Every structure is written in structure tokens, then in C-alpha cells.
């Protein structure tokens, strides 16, 4: 499926590359990204080309932490109409609701959500629409941008309690970068996202523009109509299951249907029309989560089992034998041996 994001985000990446001495124009041309599209306020860039551009920049600079710099340097204008609209909202709760509503205008490839648990609020972003976490560079740029914007729009000393990354810590995390985040960083987590006090959701924004918001919302609705529809029940169900798996375990159909605003019968019928079943999607999500954690993290097998929605190691072992034909420990060893040969 072809998906795009606002070209202003790619323009920010190109500006950063030039500032560090790279020939951004040559890199853009290599990847088939027209320079004039970056100057179009409503321009769009294929997401895969944007991601490839950022990775090329990181490779040429030999700096895997460049994603953080991109997000920390960004302004609302760099993320298009969605960020401008969110920034004009009255509170962070309103802003997050707006981002969730119009997220495709910023990035069709990503899936954003937020929710509360007790006295904590969770914001999740930088995940593919099927729920898989995006690459580290994209995740770090996204989280740094969120953190920067929340700090700019609030006078709370520490508005964000934690920043989560689904990937492992890497050498790009210098002390200076960690200090600029100004909060607790956690790696190899279930999702890319932020954790903050629930009370922070309703702190008034310093940048609130109540008179401007309706005009920006009308423009967003107009632009949204020009985007191709990328939503479908398979991606919605897969994303929701992946999103809730570590927290709630494997959800039954009726709970997922209710969370997605539909009925069990309707959701089942929509999936069947696409040749899929709820049970099949749940199995795929659990397998994909297990595969990612076994091959890309150093979590203990018990923790992997828990995040894949298994109550005990024995059940997880049986599942791995069914999926891979080997135990989870053997699957991890095989993958690591293959990477070193």
C-alpha cells in the first residue's frame, strides 16, 4: 500500500543534512524526491523514500542518533497542518485528540493513540498501521518532536515522566542528547511513546489560539478528503491487538469490537469479507511480537512470553514450537548465529 507524509518533515531532514555538510540535493535526487515538492506547503513524499533519506543521512554522518536531532529541532510548521492545529488547541488532551483524528495528514503510514490508566496518561506513536514499531530513527524523531512541542506549549517543569522506545539503546545516545530529553528514557519497551501525569492533559496551552482552531480544522478536513483511504478492519484489529497485548493479554473479539466502536458480528463479517478471521489475526500478532522481541531485544524469555500475551513459559514454548518448529531459546540462537555469519 502506497502511503505518504507531509513533505515539510522531509524538508526539515534536508535542512539538517545541509547544516552538517551533506549534499542533501544529491541524496534527494538519488531517492527520487523532487526538490520542488519540499517547498510546496501541501506537498507529500512517499514514506518509504522519506525513511530512506533519513537513513542515508545517518549513514553518511555515521550518526545513528540523528533522528533525535531532527525531532528536537522541528517546529509545528515542519509537521504540517496537523501540528499547527494541535498547537492552537486549548490543552494537550485536545491536541492529542486532534492528532489522532487527522494523523494521516501528517503521516499516512503511522498509527497514533493515547489513553489513561489511573493517574498516568500514555501516548503511542511511531508505529506502522498494523501496530509494528517503526525504525529507531523515525521513532526517535517522533518522540523528540512530541517532547519538544509539549515543553514549548506548557510551563510545567517536567510535563513528561518517561519516553519509551521499542528498540534497544544504541551508540547515538550521547550524554548530551540524553540530557536534552530531560526525562527518563526507557528502551526495549512494548511501544514507542510518552508517559505523563493525567493532570498534564488538561493544563492550558501557552500557544492556544481558540479563534484560529476552527479555520485550521476546516482546512484539515479539506486536505483529508484528498488522501487515499488507508484504513481497513484488518489493520485496525491488528493494531489494536498489538497495542493492548502486553497490557491486557489476548483480547476476546467482543472487547476489540467495542474498543473499535462496532459490534462483534459486524467486525467478524468485515474480516470474513477480506478472507481473514479474528483468531487468525490474533495468532499473527502474537507471533510477530514474539519474533521481534526474540530477534531484536535482549529481554529474558519470560518477559517475551508475557509481552506476547502468554501467562507462562510453557504455553509460550508450545506456541514457538508451532510457529517456528523450535523452542524460543533455540529460535533466538539461530537468528543470532545467522547474523554473525
Task: Report, as an integer, the average pLDDT of 86-104.
Answer: 92
Give the domain range for residue 84: 4-222
Top mean pLDDT of 113-127, 233-247, 326-340 is at: 113-127
208 within some domain: yes
- Which of 161, 190, 222 is the C-terminal boundary of a domain? 222
Which distant-in-sequence residues (6+ apart) come within 8 Å of 127 by Cβ?
Answer: 110, 111, 112, 133, 134, 191, 192, 239, 242, 243
228 within some domain: no
The reported pLDDT for the residue numbered 75 is 87
Give φ, ψ of 311 to 5 degrees: -75, -25
Coil, helix or strand at residue 99: helix
52 within some domain: yes
The reported pLDDT for the residue numbered 254 is 92
The reported pLDDT for the residue numbered 273 is 87
Mark whether 105 and 215 lie in a shared domain: yes
Q: Which helix (H) or strand (E) holds 37?
A: helix 35-39
Q: How confident is the model at residue 225 (pLDDT cuts 50, 70, 90)?
A: low
Q: Is the pLDDT of residue 233 over 90?
A: no
Mark whether 146 and 242 lie in a shared domain: no
CATH number at residue 290: 1.10.10.60
User: Which position has the higher pLDDT, 259 or 11?
Assistant: 11
Mark whether 158 and 239 lie in a shared domain: no
The reported pLDDT for the residue numbered 240 is 79
Mark whether 23 and 154 lie in a shared domain: yes
Strands of 127-251 (E only): list them: 162-164, 184-186, 193-197
Q: Which helix (H) or strand (E) holds 124?
A: strand 120-124
How far apart are alpha carbons 261 and 257 in whole angstroms?
A: 6
The reported pLDDT for the residue numbered 41 is 80
Q: How confident is the model at residue 205 (pLDDT cuts 50, 70, 90)?
A: very high
- For the chain, percent of residues with pLDDT exceeding 70: 96
The 8-class DSSP code of residue 228 comes to: P
How far apart are alpha carbons 284 and 323 in whole angstroms?
A: 10
- Which of 191, 222, 253 is the C-terminal boundary of a domain? 222
Mark whether 202 and 314 lie in a shared domain: no
Dihedral sign for Cα 230, 231, 234, 238, please. positive
Strand partners, 135: none
Which distant-in-sequence residues (6+ apart) come within 8 Å of 270 by Cβ?
Answer: 233, 262
**pLDDT-wise least confident of 119-128, 165-174, 194-203, 219-228:** 219-228
User: Which position has the higher pLDDT, 42 or 189?
Assistant: 189
Task: Report, as an integer, the average pLDDT of 306-325.
Answer: 93
Give φ, ψ of 5 to 5 degrees: -140, 165
Mark whether 26 and 161 lie in a shared domain: yes
Which distant-in-sequence residues (6+ apart) come within 8 Å of 220 by Cβ?
Answer: 81, 82, 85, 102, 105
pLDDT tens for 96-145 read 999 998 898 899 889 898 999 999 999 999 998 778 899 999 999 999 99
Q: Is the pLDDT of residue 226 over 70?
A: no
143 within some domain: yes
Side-chain half-sphere of 75: how many Cα atoms within 13 Å?
Answer: 4
Q: In what order do the strands lie in the sheet with 184-186?
A: 113-117, 120-124, 193-197, 162-164, 184-186
The reported pLDDT for the residue numbered 234 is 83
237 within some domain: yes
Dihedral sign for Cα 183, 63, 140, 220, please. positive
Number of domains in the chain: 2
Mark whether 122 and 80 lie in a shared domain: yes
Mark whether 147 and 171 lie in a shared domain: yes
How far apart are alpha carbons 303 and 292 in whole angstroms?
A: 13
Mark whether 177 and 254 lie in a shared domain: no
310 within some domain: yes
Crossing angle between the packed helical segments 313-324 and 278-296, to the nearest 10 degrees: 100
Regarding pTM above 0.85, the answer is no
227 within some domain: no
Give the torsion through C-alpha atoms of 93, 96, 100, 106, to 10 deg: 160
The average confidence (pLDDT) of the chain is 89
How far apart are alpha carbons 145 and 72 in whole angstroms?
A: 5
- Which of 192, 222, 252 is the C-terminal boundary of a domain? 222
Mark whether 71 and 171 lie in a shared domain: yes
Mark whether 124 and 254 lie in a shared domain: no
Mark whether 131 and 167 lie in a shared domain: yes
Amino acid at each position: 500500500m502506497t502511503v505518504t507524509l507531509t513533505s515539510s518533515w522531509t524538508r526539515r531532514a534536508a535542512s539538517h543534512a545541509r547544516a552538517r555538510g551533506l549534499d542533501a540535493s544529491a541524496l534527494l535526487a538519488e531517492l527520487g524526491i523532487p526538490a520542488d515538492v519540499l517547498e510546496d506547503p501541501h506537498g507529500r513524499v512517499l514514506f518509504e523514500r522519506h525513511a530512506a533519506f533519513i537513513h542515508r543521512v545517518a549513514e553518511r554522518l555515521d550518526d545513528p542518533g540523528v533522528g533525535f536531532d531532527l525531532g528536537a529541532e522541528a517546529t509545528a510548521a515542519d509537521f504540517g497542518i496537523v501540528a499547527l492545529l494541535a498547537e492552537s488547541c486549548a490543552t494537550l488532551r485536545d491536541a492529542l485528540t486532534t492528532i489522532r483524528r487527522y494523523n494521516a495528514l501528517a503521516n499516512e503510514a503511522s498509527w497514533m493513540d493515547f489513553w489513561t490508566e489511573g493517574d498516568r496518561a500514555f501516548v503511542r506513536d511511531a508505529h506502522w498501521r498494523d501496530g509494528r514499531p517503526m525504525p529507531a530513527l523515525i521513532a526517535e524523531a517522533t518522540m523528540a518532536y512530541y517532547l519538544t512541542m509539549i515543553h514549548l506549549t506548557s510551563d510545567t517543569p517536567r510535563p513528561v515522566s518517561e519516553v519509551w522506545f521499542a528498540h534497544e539503546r544504541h551508540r547515538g545516545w550521547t550524554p548530551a542528547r540524553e540530557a536534552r530529553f530531560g526525562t527518563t528514557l526507557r528502551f526495549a519497551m512494548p511501544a514507542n511513546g510518552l508517559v505523563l501525569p493525567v493532570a498534564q492533559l488538561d493544563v492550558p496551552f501557552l500557544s492556544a489560539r481558540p479563534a484560529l482552531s476552527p479555520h485550521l480544522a476546516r482546512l484539515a478536513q479539506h486536505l483529508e478528503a484528498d488522501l487515499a483511504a488507508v484504513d481497513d478492519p484488518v489493520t485496525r484489529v491488528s493494531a489494536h491487538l498489538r497495542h493492548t497485548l502486553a497490557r491486557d493479554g489476548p483480547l476476546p473479539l467482543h472487547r476489540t469490537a467495542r474498543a473499535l466502536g462496532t459490534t462483534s458480528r459486524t467486525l467478524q463479517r468485515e474480516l470474513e469479507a477480506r478472507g481473514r478471521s479474528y483468531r487468525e489475526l490474533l495468532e499473527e500478532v502474537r507471533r510477530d511480537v514474539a519474533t521481534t522481541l526474540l530477534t531484536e531485544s535482549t529481554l529474558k524469555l519470560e518477559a517475551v512470553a508475557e509481552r506476547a500475551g502468554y501467562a507462562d513459559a510453557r504455553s509460550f514454548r508450545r506456541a514457538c514450537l508451532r510457529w517456528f518448529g523450535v523452542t524460543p531459546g533455540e529460535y533466538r540462537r539461530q537468528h543470532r548465529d545467522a547474523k554473525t555469519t
